[in-house]
């Protein structure tokens, strides 16, 4: 057997293994959806509702930002506030946030960022927002999200257990009007959200996703505040690890989904986002695990295997892999966003998405620099950020960095 033929068979075998993993994932999502649909519409009333502060850092005007903010103004919870943040008044989001505060003054407040303590622009805002928040539970909520009416009740119920340090929610995606946004919402639903659900059911692992992350203020303070992760790009990952491994707290995945609203993203914007995400992800996990995660995107592996050693059997296998992957993504897409229409473009979007995600994943094996919000940054182990040499002070002084390796250590 030639080395090329052996490699072809290996890639096809890996793709088949990944397809079986996707079948398991689909079954997990079906089970989760079945459990959720049988639960009462409203949770059991809380004996003493704890105060919750929703921290929303804004940067630019996201798709349908006004409606996203409105969704958080009408949550059926008795004691909460929404603290909106922008870097400065030049940000286009400032006018939208100011209008939201004028419309719901008893629910929302607006804060301008104080200084620029670190390299992570989102964390820079969180430092300010946390300092002015009035309540004991802090919910970090991305500006491009929407949630259900009982979102906060479920979080409050989970925090009645003192062993819980962090609550996150399964992610889904809605609102697509362009191909780029359709692929974005597909990825959020079929990979991110479905991965959270299956990791919990199969391996009892709770994956923290920063689109919605609730924390106790006392735990954030014990961490050293958000200031301690000011030079970290994957602050959600590091905080989750710190809480579970260093403080012995539990991270819990809630049942209610959080919806990523993506409407008019271009294919280029989608690709650039996941190029950046792959680099971040690889710096947070060991390389063998990063390599293994390619299995959940089996079509590119199967295609490469078939092209390396073309045969009728190889392309039959590829056809079977394609059918299973399409069924998985379309079914999970529908399950993760009940009541939403599935556009006819979903099938070709799945195929294009998988190819672009594979290219981004391959780039993440080697690349270590990202462009984020106009900043060129280098990402080190644990997603620690380093500014390029041109951005350092003229004295050659190197900015201080946190011992991220210690935070990640078990």
List the CATH number of the domain containing 94.
3.90.550.10
Nearest-angstrom CA–CA distance, 261 and 173: 6
* Residue 322 in domain: yes
- Joined tokens for residue 364: 């993440």
| Strand-strand pairing, 80-86 and 108-112 | parallel
* Residue 103 in domain: yes
Q: Is 378 helix (H, G, I), strand (E, B) or coil?
A: strand
* Residue 183 in domain: yes
| 117/251 same-domain check | yes
Instruction: Determine contact, residues 32/201, Cβ cutoff 8 Å.
Output: yes
| 88/210 same-domain check | yes
| 191/229 same-domain check | yes
Instruction: Determine contact, residues 59/120, Cβ cutoff 8 Å.
Output: no
Instruction: Determine contact, residues 160/214, Cβ cutoff 8 Å.
Output: no
| 119/193 same-domain check | yes
* Residue 45 in domain: no
If one counts the domains in the chain, the total is 3
Helix ranges (DSSP H) in 242-345? 267-284, 287-292, 298-308, 312-336
Q: Which domain holds residue 359?
A: 3-31+277-366
* Residue 42 in domain: no
Percent helix, strand and coil across the chain, each to the nearest 5: 55, 15, 30
Instruction: Determine contact, residues 382/242, Cβ cutoff 8 Å.
Output: no
- Joined tokens for residue 296: 């959940």
* Residue 245 in domain: yes
Q: Which of 268, 285, 300 is the last residue of a domain?
A: 268
Nearest-angstrom CA–CA distance, 228 and 219: 12
pLDDT (tens place) for every residue of the chain, 410 residues total: 789 999 999 999 999 999 999 999 999 999 988 877 666 555 666 667 899 999 999 999 999 999 999 999 999 899 999 999 999 999 999 999 999 999 999 999 999 999 999 999 999 999 999 999 999 999 999 999 999 988 999 999 999 999 999 999 999 999 999 999 999 999 999 999 999 999 989 988 878 888 999 999 999 999 899 999 999 988 998 998 889 888 999 999 888 899 999 999 999 999 999 999 999 999 988 999 999 999 999 999 999 999 999 999 999 999 999 999 999 999 999 999 988 999 999 999 999 999 999 999 999 999 998 876 667 788 988 888 887 654 443 333 333 444 444 444 44
């Amino acid at each position: 057997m030639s080395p090329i033929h052996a490699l072809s068979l290996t890639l096809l075998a890996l793709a088949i293994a990944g397809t079986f993993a996707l079948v398991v994932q689909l079954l997990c999502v079906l089970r989760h959806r079945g459990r959720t649909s049988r639960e009462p519409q409203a949770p059991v009333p809380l004996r003493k509702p704890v105060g919750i502060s929703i921290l929303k850092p804004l940067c630019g005007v996201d798709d349908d930002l006004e409606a996203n903010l409105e969704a958080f103004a009408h949550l059926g919870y008795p004691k909460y506030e929404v603290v909106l943040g922008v870097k400065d008044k030049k940000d286009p989001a400032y006018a939208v946030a100011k209008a939201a505060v004028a419309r719901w003054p008893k629910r929302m407040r607006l804060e301008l960022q104080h200084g620029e303590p670190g390299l992570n622009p989102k964390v820079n805002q969180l430092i300010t927002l946390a300092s002015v928040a009035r309540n004991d539970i802090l919910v970090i909520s991305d500006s491009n999200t929407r949630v259900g009416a009982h979102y906060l009740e479920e979080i409050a119920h989970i925090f009645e257990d003192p062993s819980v340090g962090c609550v996150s929610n399964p992610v889904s995606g809605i609102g697509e009007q362009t191909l780029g946004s359709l692929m974005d919402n597909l990825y959020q639903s079929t990979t991110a959200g479905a991965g959270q659900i299956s990791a919990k059911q199969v391996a009892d692992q709770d994956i923290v996703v920063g689109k919605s992350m609730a924390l106790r203020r006392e735990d954030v303070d014990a961490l050293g505040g958000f200031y301690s992760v000011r030079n970290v790009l994957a602050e959600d990952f590091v905080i989750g690890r710190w809480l579970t491994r260093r403080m012995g707290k539990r991270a819990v995945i809630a049942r209610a989904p959080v919806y990523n609203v993506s409407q008019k993203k271009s294919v280029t914007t989608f690709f650039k986002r996941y190029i950046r995400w792959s680099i971040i992800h690889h710096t947070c996990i060991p390389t063998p695990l990063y390599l293994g995660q390619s299995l959940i995107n089996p079509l590119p592996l199967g295609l490469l295997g078939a092209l390396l050693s073309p045969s009728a059997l190889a392309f039959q296998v590829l056809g079977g892999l394609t059918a299973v992957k399409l069924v998985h993504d379309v079914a999970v897409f529908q399950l993760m966003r009940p009541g939403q229409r599935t556009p006819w473009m979903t099938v070709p979007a799945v195929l294009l998405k998988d190819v672009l995600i594979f290219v981004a994943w391959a780039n993440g094996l080697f690349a270590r620099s990202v462009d984020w919000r106009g900043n060129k940054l280098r990402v080190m182990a644990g997603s620690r950020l380093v500014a390029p040499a041109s951005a350092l002070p003229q004295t050659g002084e190197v900015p201080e960095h946190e011992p991220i390796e210690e935070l990640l250590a078990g």
